[in-house]
């Protein structure tokens, strides 16, 4: 599900550590129109398979892209960015 760039920049262990930060329960706080917008415009969507990610996956992937160039404390930076964008 992750972009090839993310897989090249992060180890499996790093991705697993970052995935533990996701709060999927946050997705239950969105109103229907917000969910519809996410589904139609932002989430990975394969016509034959349907939606392949949740908003929290999208937020984490965005944080990973934005934090990939950080030299020191990269995972902490990504975690902080994810938390800031999901609240």
Domain ranges of the chain: 4-86
pLDDT computed for residue 37 by the predictor: 82
Q: List pLDDT tens digits, range 30-87.
A: 888 887 787 777 676 655 666 667 788 888 989 999 999 998 999 999 999 999 988 7
Residue 47: predicted pLDDT: 57
Phi then psi dihedrals of residue 39, to 5 deg: -60, -40
Residue-level pLDDT at 48: 63
Query: What is residue 43's DSSP assignment?
Result: S
65/68 Cα distance (integer angstroms)? 5
What local confidence, expressed as pLDDT, does residue 33 receive? 87
Residue 17 burial by Cβ neighbours in a 10 Å radius (0-12, 13-18, 19+): middle
pLDDT band, residue 15 (cuts 50/70/90) = very high
């Amino acid at each position: 599900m992750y972009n090839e760039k993310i897989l090249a920049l992060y180890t499996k262990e790093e991705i697993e550590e970052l995935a533990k930060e996701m709060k999927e329960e946050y997705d239950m706080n969105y109103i229907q129109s917000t969910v519809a917008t996410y589904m139609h415009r932002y989430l990975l969507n394969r016509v034959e398979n349907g939606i392949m990610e949740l908003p929290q996956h999208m937020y984490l992937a965005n944080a990973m892209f934005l934090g990939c160039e950080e030299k020191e404390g990269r995972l902490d930076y990504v975690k902080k960015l994810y938390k800031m964008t999901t609240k």
